[in-house]
Structure 1
Amino acid sequence: MREEKKINRNLIIGAVVAVVVIIGLVVGVMALGNKEEGESAAPSEATPPASSENPTGDSSENVPGALVGNTQRTWPDPAGQIDDTPHANPGTYSADWMKQQPVWTPRNHDGDLPKRESLKNSAGKCDKDGVALDGKTQQQYVNARYLVVNEQAGPSRLDRGVPRGYAHSPQGAVVAAINLFGYGMYAQGDGIGEEIDRQLWSTSKEAQEEREFKGLDSSSEERQKESRAMLMPGMDKYQVKTCSPDLVVVEVAFTQPEELQNAPDAEGDIVSRVPMFWRDGDWQPDFSGSADKLMNVETADLNTFRKVEYQ
């Protein structure tokens, strides 16, 4: 029997979407989309420009699930709750659907990412109270998800849709943790989600229980096509609990928008803890031992957390 907290973690987006629809925020927020062109966190090769006949620049079947190797720029939601069309045009800014934070739609389908050699590696500098995300931090709309990219910390590549190539620094571990609980949330069921579960969540019993609860079968190609990932905005805040060159324990927080805090069905703030280990040249989460049980932080003083500023 799964604990209610575990269920709530994966149902938070659905519950909040329902509240947002009721109070009419979705239409207002999404109307802000594609108002301003701007710079990405890092230069990259541009994707082919969109045309009036093909406004998303997409050449593949437009299915709800993001598949490995896909070329889609929008992913329909069979439930009718998520409208991502404001994020469809490469090289433009829009607003995320919940908090109206800026979202960059990258020119490169797999993200406008910094080059690995441009990242700042500072593994020896581990003051847990002084880990600031310097440089530009963006939400980028990639594979039906919001990918967080920092120009100094990474990620610098996607490996079959999974963010990889972070800086060997506390900041690299922080961004990896932020992406784990947003872009990399487990048990989403689409093709990218299957890769995420395999590469990032194999040590988590909670993630495996959620997969079993949803009846996810990694070999079901049809299910992967029809599974629309939840659209989780980037984490708002973080703090570093433990810091050493090859182990950084990070807590990340997702706070509810003020407009929703008093809504009848609104969830509370969610704080998650993850040990990030430097292994095989990258930051890797590990939930073995007691880490899985400690993932859900029941009480936390968010005044001690640093705010993530998305640009």
Structure 2
Amino acid sequence: MSVYEYVLTQTNFVHKDDLKYPFEERGLQFGDGIYEVIRVYKGEYYLIDEHVERLFRSAEAVKITIPFTKKEVYSHLDELLKKNNITTDAKVYLQITRGSAPRDHAFPQNIEANLYAYVQDLPRKLEMMRGGVSAITQADVRWDWCYIKSLNLLPNVIAKQEASEAGCFEAILHKDGEVTECSSSNAYLVRDGKVYTHPAKKNILHGCVRLRVKKFCQEESIPFIEEAFRVEDIQYADELFLSSSTAEVMPITVVDGKTVSNGKAGVITQKLQEKYEEDAKISEATSIFAK
């Protein structure tokens, strides 16, 4: 999955081969930065407002000054798609670090943030969305400020790797048995027609798709209960699913080698997938439900 030719930096659009990462970069040395992954369908951004708002919230939380106004961010991101002639399904990765300065834990003074963004193709994971994925459970050892979309992702990386080595798609994270979220997605349990998920506190990422899932449930009169469920509740679940910008709404059908309910995508999960496709204006040709 190669990167498209043109990359957005804080000063210009440059060819990816000409991009030189600055020396003593705080993102590399301290993980001192923030990021967003934004979904693109047929050359159009999905949930762009939610992503830009979260980007600025994250920046404020860690005291990084973004070198663009919100209006400029929108403009530059639009130009990034145009320069690369994006008309297909893709994702944009956008990263902002505090900048480059002599290494010191304390914030450097009067330096400019480093920014870059690039585009990669990302076809929809249709078979996984139809048939479901497997997951393992893992202790959540991350820091307490997961609502900040920061570059400090090593615990997430290790959890995702453990899942991969077990032949699974995701790792469901928990603190003392209470499920928080997954390594790179939010987690939901369905029981008796109700959707349960961890409340949007500081210890989970406030997912952009999570916001849409909540909205979809409200529109369909499906109780959306922001209350954490426990690992042992999974065995009694009618459905289990996850959400993220790259996985959309994804059924989880196996956890720790045990089948969830009947091992198929449930009725509520499918309804939320249908709502997602309507909201994202997915064409019938690439629909989960295409025959």
Q: Do these two structures clear the TM 0.5 threshold for a shared fold by scoring above it?
A: no
Q: Which is richer in strand?
A: 2
Q: Under a length normalisation based on structure 2, what TM-score does the superposition of the two structures give?
A: 0.24
Q: Which is richer in helix?
A: 2
Q: Under a length normalisation based on structure 1, what TM-score does the superposition of the two structures give?
A: 0.23
